[in-house]
């Protein structure tokens, strides 16, 4: 069981906006920033969002992140077929002294 909680699946049609939630506690999201990763089928994860809402260079502005209290969200607007992937949130956990991940959300583009 993952420390951070994500819905196991999400879906949308091309052009639609979808959001993926990530719920934690005061020891992780509540006191540290949230990062998001995208994992395309059969490949290594890639950096998608850092510091709650910052995009690394090369990541389209269709991807955005937000954080409030002990929860965070990833939004994808203008959904495209190539966005079909697994998405993971992550945050540092102060008590465990390590990274904690969400269980991952499988995004399907219908």
Q: How far is CA 71 from CA 5, 37, 43, 95, in A?
A: 9, 16, 27, 18
Using the rule CB under 8 A, which residue among 20, 24, 79, 104 binds other proteins? 104
Q: How far is CA 28 from CA 34, 64, 66, in A?
A: 9, 20, 15
Q: 95, 82, 103: which is closest to 4 by C-alpha?
A: 103
Q: Is there binding between residue 88 and other proteins (CB under 8 A)?
A: yes
Binding marks (x or -) toward other proteins, 57..76, rule CB under 8 A?
Answer: --------------------
Interface with other proteins by CB under 8 A: which range of 9-17, 65-73, 77-85, 98-106? 98-106
Within its chain, how far is the Cα of 98 from the centroid?
18
Nearest distance in Å: CB 2, other proteins: 6
Q: Is there binding between residue 10 and other proteins (CB under 8 A)?
A: no
For other proteins, the binding residues (CB under 8 A) are 2, 32-33, 35, 37, 39, 44-47, 50-51, 56, 86, 88, 90, 92, 96-104
């Amino acid at each position: 069981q993952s420390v951070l909680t994500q819905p196991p699946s999400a879906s949308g049609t091309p052009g639609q906006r979808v959001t993926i939630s990530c719920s934690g506690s005061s020891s992780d999201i509540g006191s540290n920033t949230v990062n998001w990763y995208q994992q395309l089928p059969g490949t290594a994860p890639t950096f998608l969002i850092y510091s709650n809402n910052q995009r690394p260079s090369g990541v389209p502005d269709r991807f955005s992140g937000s954080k409030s209290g002990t929860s965070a969200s990833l939004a994808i607007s203008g959904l495209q077929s190539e966005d079909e992937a697994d998405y993971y949130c992550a945050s540092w956990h102060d008590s465990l002294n390590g990274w904690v991940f969400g269980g991952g959300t499988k995004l399907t583009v219908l």
